Amino acid sequence: MLRKNILALDIAFGPAAACLLRRDGSILTAGGQDERPHSQAIMPLLEGLLKRGGMQWNDLDMLAAGIGPGSFTGLRIAAASIAGINSGLNLPVIELSSLAISALQCESEKAVHVIEDARAGLAYCACYQGNKALMQDCCMSWDDIGQLEPEGYTAQHTDKERLSGWLYLPPSTPRPVAMSRLLLSTARELNDIESLPRVATPAYLIASQAERHAPQN
């Protein structure tokens, strides 16, 4: 059984979610309801979590981050925060799907689609059963999603009227708790920890709005 102190952060869909897995098997979680901008609130959130666990930064063995897809700003802040923390620690970083975290918030034994509006006529889409991906994270047009067989789905920000015929599954588990469960199962399956990256690379899947509207050379 993996005995590591692992600190994780996800900001893909609004409020920050953080969790701390400890070597003794205990799990601490925290959610960001701070009204300050993420750039100002993230470090106090993480420091508070470490303090609750009686730990300091150099007690950590690994880091983890929700890499998206999701809000471009949130993904960048999460990745930058992990990079800043790790600049002096050089710890392995576990990359987590933010859509998988959303699926685990439903606590459904059946397959759960996660469908999030990506704007510009597109949506982020995946399908999970527990922590197992039945359809990998991808970006699809709403027209293509309309061709899928309607099933149970969850979302943080998608307009339900766009998915008529689908069964909406509201999140029942706090996001930090769902992330801790995904992190625990992912960490247990690791075979080569040292080969993990030292930075988190956001999975944007599509170009940002600024990039889409940039003049072409």
| pLDDT, the chain, mean | 92
Give yes or no for a cis peptide into 15 (omega within 30° of 0). no
* Residue boundaries of the structural domains of the chain: 6-97+174-212, 99-168
Residue showing tokens 């979610």: 17
**Residue 107 clears pLDDT 80, i.e. is over it:** yes
**Residue 214 clears pLDDT 60, i.e. is over it:** no
**pLDDT tens-place string over residues 142-196:** 999 999 999 999 999 888 889 999 999 999 999 999 999 999 999 999 999 999 9
pLDDT mean over 28-56: 86
Q: Does domain 6-97+174-212 have CATH number 3.30.420.40?
A: yes
Alpha carbon 154 to its chain centroid, in Å, reads: 14
Q: Does domain 99-168 have CATH number 1.10.1200.10?
A: no
**Residue 210 clears pLDDT 60, i.e. is over it:** no
Closest CA to 135 of 162, 159, 103, 105: 103
Domains 6-97+174-212 and 99-168 share a fold: yes
